[in-house]
Amino acid sequence: MKVKKQKVSPRQKMINLMYVLLMAMLALNVSSDVLNGFTLVDESLSKSSENTGRQNDALYDAFEMHMQQNPEKVREWYEHACDVREMSDTIYNLAERLKVRIAKKADGEEGDFKNLKNREDLEAATQVMLNPVDGEGNLLYNAITEYRANMLEMTKDSILREIIKTSLSTDVPQRDISLLKNWQEYHFENMPAIAAITLLTKIQNDVHYVEGEVLHSLAKNIDMGDVRVNQIQALVIPTSKNVVRGGDFSAQIILAAVDSTQRPQIFINDELLENENGEYVTRCNKTGDYTLNGYMLVNDGGGIQTRYDFTQNYTVVDPTATVSASLMNVLYAGFTNPVSISVPGVAANRISATIAKGSGTIKSDGKGGFIVVPTKVGEDLLIGVTARNEEGRSQSMGEYTFRVRQLPDPMPFIEYKDKDGNIQRYRGGAPFSKQSLMSTDGIVAAIDDGLLNIGFKVLSFETVFYDNMGNAIPLKSQGTQFSQQQKDMFRNLGRGKRFYISHVRAIGPDNIERLLPTTLEVIIN
């Protein structure tokens, strides 16, 4: 719905400015544990991306070697591989440049995204990505979209195409808080600088992953797998390289181009792995960086046993969750506050929350979010988060504290329809069409400041007119509508005359009745 801006009084501008500053101060109250979690995830993603990049470089070297040996057979697929490298490097470097810009926006010209100081900065990513003049969010979105389309053209394999679509998806989750946001706003608007940098690192990691999958698909066309048998390597494929403390590290250990008629012997720390499928699982109870070391023993066709060493790094991090009020970083008593809760790597339907301390209720909204209704003003509300892993085991993700406050007082308005039929709100202090005044039924009250839009029920109000002698004529109205006496007074008002609406009593969704301190001045045009 289109809403025209109305002029506001200097006093109201000051009130609005103070409110925005307060919300900004509240929004900056980001947990250091969460920021540390983002830093750990970013470092792990960077390591993963580097490892994948090295594996991709080895594939490019193999393409180069086969091109020299048999250019007639290999040329078409070699040229496709060169195109994949160029396109992948372009979007990877774009993400790298955006990380540099965000770091400098947050920490100044000396800023380094690998050692970010103002990790909680909520403006850096917004300015770099969403600035209407030089914001690069659209550029990144278009680059990902184009790259995804180009990679899809490289293969007809349905499984690989689904992997590409999923890994490079630019769809916005269909939740209440995201329905009005595009992809770039959803990921970068009011996002802490470290979170935005971590997202860009994830994009780089996804690009390297898709690049490798496409290269392997291209390699099948020239039988590179037959050649790799002479360059056998042991590979470790982990379910995840980031493990929450108390969770399981799981990995698939395989031999590239293995002969299906022979199963290699796998040793972890010199102990034979008693699993024919090569699946290795170990419980992770301490945080930190770890390395999985081992080797395989393989018999070749001549009966000679060959050893192939392998190694895999992984990181164990503390349980973390992101809990945020969808409207702002505060909860209002008696009001249905929408709250979003997410845990990295855990689907929304496997996350639950409870009130660990304080008075109130919390329940799922059925759309991936939660509704919190505190009951006591002034006390802290502690929300406990639990996540259920894929094995069905529940684990605590921490507890998060919110301050409970009373809903602020609303403002009185006169609602009317403009010439285009759009609903507008007259806020006083400016000339108001007598025709619009005569066509409206009464007044409304609401918190409508750009952050909240919460309606209140008007119980009663008073209008004050002044006659030619300067005598005040107060007229009361019960409910939200103008009385017949008040409407009769409107008809006698000429251009430049004014009257006042005051003593407005209203009740909000918190069931608290209040007398509004604001007087609405109406000037007839």
SS (H, E, C) 394-447: EEEEEEEEEEEECCCCCEEEEEEECCCCCEEEECCCCEECHHHHHHCCECEEEE
What are the C-alpha distances in Å from 95 to residues 89, 144, 201, 281?
10, 10, 7, 34
pLDDT for the residue 106: 85
Nearest to 116, CA basis, from 193, 32, 38? 193
Q: Rounded distance, CA 255 to CA 236, Å?
A: 9
What are the C-alpha distances in Å from 18 to residues 7, 449, 521?
18, 12, 22
- Which residues sit opposite 137 in a β-bridge? none
What are the C-alpha distances in Å from 376 to residues 144, 325, 353?
47, 17, 19
pLDDT for the residue 413: 93
Tokens describing residue 52? 């994948």
Q: Rounded distance, CA 179 to CA 451, Å?
A: 16
Query: Taking the mean position of all CA atoms in its chain, how far away is CA 509?
Result: 28
How does DSSP assign 339-384, residue by residue?
A: EEEEBTTB-GGGEEEEEEESSEEEEE-SSS-EEEEE-STTSEEEEE
How many alpha carbons fall within 13 Å on the CB side of residue 492? Answer: 10
Sign of CA dihedral 392, 401, 450, 408: positive
Residue 259 phi, psi (nearest 5): -80, 120
- pLDDT block averages, 10 residues each, the chain of length 525: 40 45 44 68 83 91 87 88 94 92 88 85 88 87 93 90 90 67 86 88 91 90 50 64 63 64 79 80 81 82 71 72 63 88 80 92 89 90 87 84 90 91 89 91 86 87 92 93 94 92 93 92 92
Q: Rounded distance, CA 513 to CA 509, Å?
A: 10
Q: What is the length of the chain?
A: 525
Letter for the amino acid at 181? K
Nearest to 402, CA basis, from 366, 429, 378? 378
Tokens describing residue 252? 């698939």
DSSP-assigned letter for residue 469: T
Q: Which residues, in sequence order, are CB contacts of 236 under 8 Å at separation 6+?
A: 251, 252, 253, 292, 310, 311, 312
pTM above 0.85, yes or no: no
Q: Rounded distance, CA 484 to CA 503, Å?
A: 19
Tokens describing residue 444? 């409304």
Letter for the amino acid at 12? Q
Q: Rounded distance, CA 2 to CA 420, Å?
A: 10
Query: Taking the mean position of all CA atoms in its chain, how far away is CA 118?
Result: 19
Q: Are 497 and 524 contacting, i.e. CB atoms less than 8 angstroms apart?
A: yes
Sign of CA dihedral 345, 58, 50, 245: positive
Residue 515 phi, psi (nearest 5): -95, 115
pLDDT for the residue 450: 64
pLDDT for the residue 43: 82
- Which residues sit opposite 261 in a β-bridge? none
Q: Rounded distance, CA 348 to CA 365, Å?
A: 11
- Taking residue 482's Cβ as centre, other Cβ atoms within 10 Å add up to 23
pLDDT for the residue 34: 62
pLDDT for the residue 244: 59
Letter for the amino acid at 231? Q
